[in-house]
Amino acid sequence: MSYPEIRPRRLRRTAALRRLVSETRVDPAELVVPMFVKEGLTEPRAIASLPGVLQHSRDSLRKAAVEAVQAGVGGIMLFGVPAQRDPEGSGGIDPNGILNVAIRDVVSEVGDATVVMSDLCLDEFTSHGHCGLLTPDGEVDNDATLAAYAEMAVAQAAAGVGVVGPSGMMDGQVGVVRKALDAAGHTDVAVLAYAVKYASAFYGPFRDAVESALEGDRRTYQQDPANLRESLREVALDVAEGADLVMVKPALPYLDVVSAVRAAVDVPVAAYQVSGEYAMVEAAAANGWVDRERVMLETLTSIRRAGAQIILTYWAVEAAQLLRQRY
């Protein structure tokens, strides 16, 4: 009877051996937690479609930021939910708007202990829910929106943010933001470009979190899920315009895109594990269909293995705690 001479299973025999030869590890410092702060709240509010995720009050946001730092999370991405919206999204530019106030709150609370990031987009602040200003016939006006993004970037930098995340998928947004920041003396503020952002069906729970007022869809500016070469073009343009980091969103349905982007650029690559990805696992786990913690870490490992150095995920704090226990 013949036996195999080469036995790969030898290196799987114990947990210690598996750890020793593991090819991909997720480090807590590579995780970024998105956080929502709602104007006027006095207590945090649960988001039904995102179990475990909250709309924060200003006070609870500060506490959550400290918890994230204690867990070793690498960054916090802030999103604001204003009490009032208008067609111009003026609350996003107002120094006293909820997002800019939240940036100041978090920076004053945690300083440089983690990287404070902010979403740079008008969609949370516009009464129509689009990521830009509209023409009289209801189309998103790319160039008028760029001017608003420039003001918004300077306002966020003045509030103390370390990284701005232009996410509206307007042509030229990175270059305009970079020039505005530099002209205002904020040369040290980095730009995380949402370079690849698909018109995805996975964003539904996020729109609940920010109480989106979206009318219609965003297919004229977000990317067609069928396209990869277009994504590489978008990434190349953003890097040429001065992006310090680039991001792919969503993550799991687009791991091939993450891998292709990683191979194409020499700046750090991030991926956003979006609300729908998170919510599906939480729903399946609540029904007893999957092992929640194992699936959580498996999904994060797959995103890291595909080439994302940074992962935005609603599990960031919990996953960081689990990873620190494991390693």
Range of the domain at 312: 25-326
Q: Does residue 70 sit within a domain?
A: yes
218 annotated as ligand-binding: yes
| The total number of structural domains that make up the chain | 1
Q: Does residue 15 sit within a domain?
A: no
Q: Does residue 39 sit within a domain?
A: yes
Burial of 201 (0-12, 13-18, 19+ CB in 10 A): exposed
275 annotated as ligand-binding: yes
314 annotated as ligand-binding: yes
Which residues, other chains included, contact 20 with Cβ-Cβ below 8 Å and sequence gap of 6+?
11
For residue 163, list its beta bridge partners. 117, 190
Q: Write the pLDDT tens digit of every residue in 138-164.
A: 899 999 999 999 999 999 999 999 999
Q: Does residue 132 sit within a domain?
A: yes
Segment 62-70 shows an average pLDDT of 98
Range in 33-37, 56-60, 217-221 with the lowest mean pLDDT: 217-221
Segment 94-112 shows an average pLDDT of 97
Cite the active site residues.
Answer: 197, 249
Q: Does residue 9 sit within a domain?
A: no
Q: Write the pLDDT tens digit of every residue in 199-232.
A: 999 998 988 998 888 877 898 889 999 999 999 9
Its pTM stands at: 0.95
Q: Does residue 127 sit within a domain?
A: yes
The CATH number linked to 120 is 3.20.20.70
Burial of 112 (0-12, 13-18, 19+ CB in 10 A): exposed
Per-position DSSP letters for 75-86, written without gaps between them: EEEEEEE-S--B
Cite the DSSP H helix spans in the chain.
15-21, 58-71, 98-110, 142-159, 173-183, 204-209, 229-240, 255-264, 275-286, 292-306, 316-326
Helix, strand or coil, per DSSP, at residue 125? coil
